[in-house]
Structure 1
Amino acid sequence: MESLLDRLLKHYSLSLEGYGRLKADPSFSLLPKLDAMMAISAKNRIARAKEANEKVLIYGDYDCDGIMASAIMARTLHKLGIKAEVFIPSRYKDGYGLNEENAKRIASKGYGLVILVDNGVSCLSPISYLYEKGIDCIAIDHHDVGSTLPPCTLIHDRLIGLEEKCSAGALCFYFSSLLLGEVDYENLVMGAVSVISDVMPMKGENRTLVGLCLRLLRKGYGRRVLALLDAFPDERGLSMSAIPKINAPGRILEDQRPLIACAYYFAGLSKDPMAALRIMEKAKETRVEMTAEAEKGEAIEESGNALFYPNPGLEGLGGLLANRLLEQKGKQTIVVSKAGNGECIASLRGKGAFDSSEFTKRVSDRLTSFGGHRYAAGIRFPAESLSYVKDSFFAYCNALPEAAEEEEEAGVELLLSEITMENYALLRSFGPFGKDFEAPSFLLEVDTSSLTYSPRKKMLSTSLGKGTSIFSFLIKEGDLPRGRKAELRGKLILSKREEGVELEFFAEKAKLLP
């Protein structure tokens, strides 16, 4: 068998020269430097706000990207001597983005400058209202741009020449470096966390940013993020441990004050950091319980290549449920939740030829709001339009060209003797992993008689010695008959244990061999 390095090179279609470039330490010099006219204009406007001692408001969003973006801007302006206020809207009271009611409140409170982060590009009417009142707006957003832009200074990934689509948090980090004239390591970590949370392509600037973040985390920077980690500090640990806690308050809490407290916590401006940590930890626990209940709801309605699910739980769980259904069923998905004001809120998730903006054009006359990206979006509409929206979604999805049946990703053969820390280090030299550059699935041949299971939960749990093991909560005792050869498909991951770090082959699937 070829060496593991050669197998990995073949898996990623890389030459040794290409691998050398891939594994080179990420450099701060490769980070984008914002020099677009809009970014310079925004910098100058902030300088004028400082000189005039204007009241400045940062208007964010309730998900991880929005919290990180808000915290980056609050931290940056604080370092510049500007005590900006942060407002995070409630998903339930305010909805996504700046609305007209909040625009009127802002105008009545004497703000001279509003910085919208992770929203703004679709807030034409409320930003126009502020403009008419003489209040300037800067929008730092990455959502799809419509045919008409709001009257503000817009910093957008599509308008400033970035190679890859990025998160709002990453944009705020790049902008913070322009404002400060230096790289703030805490801002960098938050920007990278938002890239992972919003599942941006792990290529180009995003790969550089996340690679630098992981290096900084290993050196102890990003301690407010590290405080949330129950896992090893890599991109998988962040996405499985810290990010769900950051997202949880915005999914289930109606009061925006805890969300604002979380933004100040990450900015390093919190008066009670432990209280903010408790908010996120508790919200994550509650969200897990509520999601489990919501998944027991009404039956899924399927039509060809699409499915509809009426979410019986909180609206904030809709996106999670839609993600899971898309992954499980492989069909374009709409999950609809009932809002308390006679409206419905739907989470759209898709793949292949699906384009949320193309679908929303068909139902635009029924929508009260829309925002998102090609494959993930949210819409709001009157409850009486539910049947129309559902039927239109089915019609749109079933008119899409049929996608070729997805083939299972080619796996990389792995020997039991190759499950070592040295080979894990080799694997990590190809990282960071993420969208469009996934961690490889390994194929491990085992004798089922050698497998052992945990005594209580009867899950696959086989120690290999020297801090390594085979583990799976998906494969239970009795699933595989003894005395046979089986192929396990899974990932190599590092897990934190009370006794230290353990290298696991996490088995996702198993099949018996002839």
Structure 2
Amino acid sequence: MLVRKEWQLNQADPQEGSVLERILAIRGIHRPDDKERFLQGGLAHLHDPLRLPDMRPALERLSQARRLNEPVLIHGDYDADGLTATALLVNVLRQLGMDIHTYIPDRMTDGYGLSPSSLDFARESGCSLMVTVDCGISNRNEISQIRQMGIDVIVTDHHACPEVLPDTLAVINPHREDSDYPFEGLAGVGVACKLAQAFCQFEQESPLWQSHLDLVALGTVADVVPLLDENRILVRMGLSALNTQPSCGLDALLRVVNLKQREISGQTLGYVLAPRMNAAGRLGRADLALSLLLSSDPRESEQLAVALNELNTQRQKVEGELVEAAVSMIEADPQWMTRPVLIASGDDWHQGVLGIVAARLSEKYARPVIVLSRDGDDYQGSGRSWGRFDLLAALKRSDRYLSQYGGHRKAAGLRLACADLPAFYQVLSEAASELLPAEQARPIMTADVLLSPAEMTEALAEQLKPLAPFGEGNEQPVMMTRELVLDRVQPAGNGRHLRLSLSDLSGHHHFSAIGFGLGDADDWLRVSDRVDVLYHLEINVWQGRQSLQLNIRDIRLSQTGRLIDDRPWEIESTYEQTDDLVQTSRYHQIPVTDLIPDQVEYKAVYQYLSAQFAYQPILVDQSVLALRIARSYRLNLNMFRLARILHVFAEAGLLQLERIDSDRVRICLCEVANRVKLESSPSYLRLQLKGSE
């Protein structure tokens, strides 16, 4: 979709003080001690783990197991958070000489949490104590059955608590209503880390848990919990470990993905390591990922890392095939563009990648998407939200058709009978239309600070480094700079990305930039263009040398001061109200000739639509489409003239046209057997007449 993004400056910017102080103020950090903790907080700033509910009885039971050499079962989860939490506890407890066993459920056959397979494994393991990590809070019945086997259970979890907690000796969860813990945002591995921290203190042992903070960092970033408070400290310290003394398994994985010589950041964890951990669980091989995290043998670690990387490649292939199939299904529906939420379903679609497929589709279509796979008489799958839409709230309003569902506003899982899908879709669509009409949604990008070219320095980038690690709740600061000159534009990454050279209007300041995922902007950007940019200010290190680099988030042409270039939808709105070209011209003081398309433009628009979209329906902002066509054919086509052309084509039967607002339209070229004459359009004749006056 060709959709215009709205840019805005953060209204919380005090616009005084240093750039660093302004960004801290935007994040609500004002007091000197809060600034120090945020920028320099270390392990001494961690909260007392004994403030977590049920921590003391858990420690006493673990201590008994250690003293009596009881076998202990760690029940984990198949995602990166659950795997790192499992590895952390296993490593620490084994270092304390304990007999530790592990169980990771299979995503395909067991599903999330404790299952019948969990019960069977616990019964056969001979263990007298089970500790759950990243799961268990919603498994009251299963835990009751395990206790009836004579096995004690300690639950450590970070998910939302049900009204009735499992009846067991300890339920450690910062979300408990009776919790006195000052931070609720811990990941599953964070809760496991607090248990390990407390147990080392309780046993008066050295802080062995500190040797595994790389695992805590990986699991925390992977689970997309807020990188604030304790999470921020744990991830910062874990990144330090990854860059100096990573565990054997993660060291091998960094080598396999060719990142050993690069600085490891939160982005590395989130976009490189975490997907590989999750790929194992998605494809039913979580055991392989756990083995890598636990490995202390370099040769074994290398073999496991290679296998894990190959699994990720396989996951990408499966994901790509499902995205293609889902797109075909969605766009086969003639009304898909009118639907505020989209659903794609199929037989035997791989359950492990449905969530990530839904995420990709929600980005593609700019609306919520649910992807389902048939399982007998049921559909099971995942949904992803878009924008401000609360997916979980929408599911609650249609839950009479759901046998299972859960999640949060951004992502959810669900199960329903195949026969109920049409009725469910109707109710869900009604809820979605009410909560967020997708066709009216427009992406908004917010800049923290407006910088002049003189302020864009390597020194400033260095000053902002302590704001890292970046992630959920602590996003990397976005800067805005206006009126830069484009000196060079070059495609990169097989056309997916752009490399840019920019300068200020005086030519005194020059900048190198990279635009990841902005490859299609090469169609309309031209050397010497004046542009505005949204970007991250970064330090690029290459072959031992460092330099300033702008990581471009978005780019647009600078304003010209002419309404027809800068805000053409306002002119279109006037015309919609008056239906009078002359009156519109006079009101905005624009020559009528600037509002009437010529024959070359009619031809170019049709050729562009045919070549780019054929007979596929598209949702576009005419302002964006006009720029693409104008740059492709070296024309002065503006949005207003494009709108007239599309209207003429619709009247002549060349395309279907639906107006959403003064800028956004849905269009689809029609297949026509015979040559169409534009003279058959009344609007075309009126425009020609006005042009000849």
In the superposition, the TM-score normalised over structure 1's length comes to 0.86
- Residue 498 (structure 2) aligns with: 460
Match of 2:479 among 431, 442, 457: 442
Q: 1:286-325 counterparts in 2 under 5 A?
A: 286-297=314-325, 298-299=329-330, 301=336, 305-310=340-345, 313-325=349-361
Structure 1 residue matching 2:40: 3-state secondary structure:
coil
Aligned partners of 1:140 and 1:155 also within 8 Å: yes
Identify, as 1 or 2, the structure richer in helix: 2
- Residue 210 (structure 1) aligns with: 235
Q: 1:286: Cα distance to partner?
A: 2.0
Could you report, residue by residue, the CA deviation over 1:132-164 in whole angstroms, capped at 9, with x for unpaired residues? 222222221112222232223211121242423
Could you report, residue by residue, the CA deviation over 1:380-432 in whole angstroms, capped at 9, with x for unpaired residues? 34444434443443344445488997643135334556555432221212222
- Residue 176 (structure 1) aligns with: 196
Structure 2: distance between partners of 1:414 and 1:187: 40
- Residue 577 (structure 2) aligns with: none
- Residue 507 (structure 1) aligns with: 552
- Residue 96 (structure 2) aligns with: 80
Could you report, residue by residue, the CA deviation over 1:180-224 in whole angstroms, capped at 9, with x for unpaired residues? 222522332222222211111122222222222233334334564
Structure 1: distance between partners of 2:29 and 2:54: 38
Match of 1:335 among 363, 371, 385: 371
- Residue 261 (structure 1) aligns with: 288
Aligned partners of 1:468 and 1:502 also within 8 Å: no
Match of 2:447 among 410, 420, 433: 410
- Residue 568 (structure 2) aligns with: none
Q: 1:132-143 counterparts in 2 under 5 A?
A: 132-143=148-159
- Residue 480 (structure 1) aligns with: 525
Q: Does residue 236 of the first structure (1) align with residue 267 of the second (2)?
A: yes
**Gaps (5+ residues) in structure 2?**
1-14, 202-206, 504-508, 561-693
Aligned partners of 1:65 and 1:194 also within 8 Å: yes
Aligned partners of 2:292 and 2:301 also within 8 Å: yes
Select between 426-435 and 387-396 the one with higher mean Cα deviation. 387-396
Structure 1: distance between partners of 2:37 and 2:122: 47
**Gaps (5+ residues) in structure 1?**
none
Structure 1: distance between partners of 2:450 and 2:68: 64
RCO (CA 8 Å, sep 6+): is it higher in 1 or 2? 1
Partner amino acid for 2:321?
E
Structure 2: distance between partners of 1:397 and 1:183: 49
Partner amino acid for 1:180?
C
**In the superposition, relative to structure 1, how do residues 355 and 49 fare at CA in structure 2: closer, same or farther (>3 Å)?**
farther
Aligned partners of 2:155 and 2:172 also within 8 Å: yes
Q: 1:304: Cα distance to partner?
A: 5.6
Select between 65-74 and 207-216 the one with higher mean Cα deviation. 207-216
Partner amino acid for 1:55?
P
Partner amino acid for 1:260?
D
Could you report, residue by residue, the CA deviation over 1:220-272 in whole angstroms, capped at 9, with x for unpaired residues? 34564354343531112211211111111111x23x4xx22322332345692
Q: Does residue 155 of the first structure (1) align with residue 172 of the second (2)?
A: yes
Q: 1:443: Cα distance to partner?
A: 2.3
- Residue 95 (structure 1) aligns with: 111
Structure 1 residue matching 2:99: 3-state secondary structure:
coil
Aligned partners of 2:103 and 2:118 also within 8 Å: no
Select between 37-46 and 298-307 the one with higher mean Cα deviation. 298-307
In the superposition, the TM-score normalised over structure 2's length comes to 0.65
Structure 1 residue matching 2:467: 3-state secondary structure:
coil
Aligned partners of 1:123 and 1:150 also within 8 Å: yes
Structure 2: distance between partners of 1:455 and 1:197: 28
Select between 345-354 and 485-494 the one with higher mean Cα deviation. 345-354
- Residue 428 (structure 1) aligns with: 465
- Residue 130 (structure 2) aligns with: 114
Match of 2:87 among 50, 71, 76: 71
Structure 2 residue matching 1:438: 3-state secondary structure:
coil
Aligned partners of 2:391 and 2:412 also within 8 Å: no
Structure 1: distance between partners of 2:409 and 2:171: 20
- Residue 40 (structure 2) aligns with: 25
Select between 173-182 and 408-417 the one with higher mean Cα deviation. 408-417
Aligned-residue CA RMSD (Å) = 3.5
**In the superposition, relative to structure 1, how do residues 234 and 52 fare at CA in structure 2: closer, same or farther (>3 Å)?**
same
Aligned partners of 1:69 and 1:170 also within 8 Å: yes
Q: Does residue 469 of the first structure (1) align with residue 494 of the second (2)?
A: no
Q: 1:485: Cα distance to partner?
A: 0.4
Select between 196-205 and 491-500 the one with higher mean Cα deviation. 491-500
Q: Does residue 394 of the first structure (1) align with residue 429 of the second (2)?
A: yes
Q: 1:211-226 counterparts in 2 under 5 A?
A: 211-222=236-247, 224-226=249-251
**In the superposition, relative to structure 1, how do residues 157 and 348 fare at CA in structure 2: closer, same or farther (>3 Å)?**
farther
Q: Does residue 201 of the first structure (1) align with residue 246 of the second (2)?
A: no
- Residue 190 (structure 1) aligns with: 215
- Residue 245 (structure 1) aligns with: 276
Q: 1:445: Cα distance to partner?
A: 4.3
Structure 2 residue matching 1:116: 3-state secondary structure:
strand
Q: 1:10: Cα distance to partner?
A: 6.3
Structure 1: distance between partners of 2:323 and 2:492: 29
Larger Rg computed on CA atoms: 2
Aligned residues: 508
Structure 2: distance between partners of 1:110 and 1:21: 49
Aligned partners of 2:384 and 2:412 also within 8 Å: yes
Q: 1:450: Cα distance to partner?
A: 0.6
Structure 2: distance between partners of 1:28 and 1:264: 28
